[in-house]
Structure 1
């Protein structure tokens, strides 16, 4: 579905991404893990057209989308749930959800999708009238995911969905990620909680200072001693 080939991105002469290549197969959950500053968010922002690339290809269903405006990329079926949720705080839950459908032409089916979102997130239905800024962190994350789903994406990219959330809420968010994937949405996930990310993902890539240093199935990376030592807080066996 998505193939990144030899992607390079720079900020003021500093290389944020240095010749990275990876792919996201249709129907799978793929995660990028790495430390702060590794280039994870830059990767997602490049794919969605918010960051200019220096060189390389971003192939979505075999079409190079580098250089397309963000609204055209979203219109082709890619959505981004940004880091920090970025909901509209003075608008209600329902208004935030409707904004997610702003590019859609099938207006008659929007209510049907709102009902689907409410079936995934019952708390959003209970609070449909409430301003987004008054929701808890976990509820705002649910709203950000719901808003992205309203564009009917085939590929949903998520940037640090568990950031700042209580452990019990993190469990709930990852359970929802699995459900969304089972409903047919391909997921590209960036997550500092490497343990949860690798347990959830079919495939994983390790990003370090703009380079991909390792890749494998989620299970393989979970069992890798270097990964366990660097990201999971486990000591290497002597």
Structure 2
């Protein structure tokens, strides 16, 4: 269980997060939807240690992780697949994946997880010795997710996994997110495609200007008239 309580984050005097309270239960898919600039990515970056919290608490399984170094947070079981993919273009697919396991020393388990990632993303296996920079956008997204999985996370955080992808590839990505979750990995998802995110998620939060304004099951939030008008382009 990931618990975030009264989390405040500021950038140069501007409040990015204003007292965020959310819970990410074990084994669930939790999504956070909101407009650009609402604070979604800031939240994931703060959880992963890339951004420092001004105040508040972030606990994983009851252990305070606020303020820990990035590598320690990763070692505790939280992995981030960032917006924009950020694969290492001049390294091969397999080298990118192995970088994801850099904190691990269980060689046999690493090889087993590598095969698991290749089973999830057969395209990556076909291109294992291809340079990451030559992959398509969808393939790079698969690689970014696979790299995060190689750290063997308890919680996989995905920041805009479908951004800029063709509809068919988007469907594939969401099918794989469900498969990852079914394997026992908890997922915290930020996604501009609110319709897909809410249909996939067990729990959903809506964030506006750094504050949580609505929460419920994915289905409850999906049929909320205000959400439908604001994020799904449908009138009340």
Same fold (TM over 0.5): yes
Aligned counterpart, 1:152? 152
**Deviations for 1:176-221, whole angstroms, at most 9, x for unmatched residues?**
0000000000000000110000000000000000010000000001
The Cα shift of 1:53 comes to 0.6
Aligned counterpart, 1:12? 12
**Deviations for 1:132-167, whole angstroms, at most 9, x for unmatched residues?**
000000000000010001000010000000000001
Is 1:181 the counterpart of 2:157? The answer is no
**Deviations for 1:98-142, whole angstroms, at most 9, x for unmatched residues?**
000000021222111111111111000000010000000000000
- CA distance in structure 2 between the aligned counterparts of 1:79 and 1:109, rounded to whole angstroms: 17
**Over aligned residues, Cα RMSD in angstroms?**
0.5
Aligned counterpart, 1:42? 42
Is 1:118 the counterpart of 2:127? The answer is no
Aligned counterpart, 2:161? 161
Aligned counterpart, 1:234? 234
TM-score (norm 1): 0.98
TM-score (norm 2): 0.99
Following TM superposition, the consecutive aligned residue runs of length 4 or more in structure 1 with deviations greater than 4 angstroms are: none
Q: Please, which runs of 5 or more residues in structure 2 have no aligned partner?
A: none
SS at match of 2:72: helix
Aligned counterpart, 1:171? 171
Aligned counterpart, 1:57? 57
Count of residues in Structure 1 that have an aligned counterpart in Structure 2: 236
Aligned counterpart, 1:143? 143
Q: Please, which runs of 5 or more residues in structure 1 have no aligned partner?
A: none
- CA distance in structure 2 between the aligned counterparts of 1:8 and 1:152, rounded to whole angstroms: 29
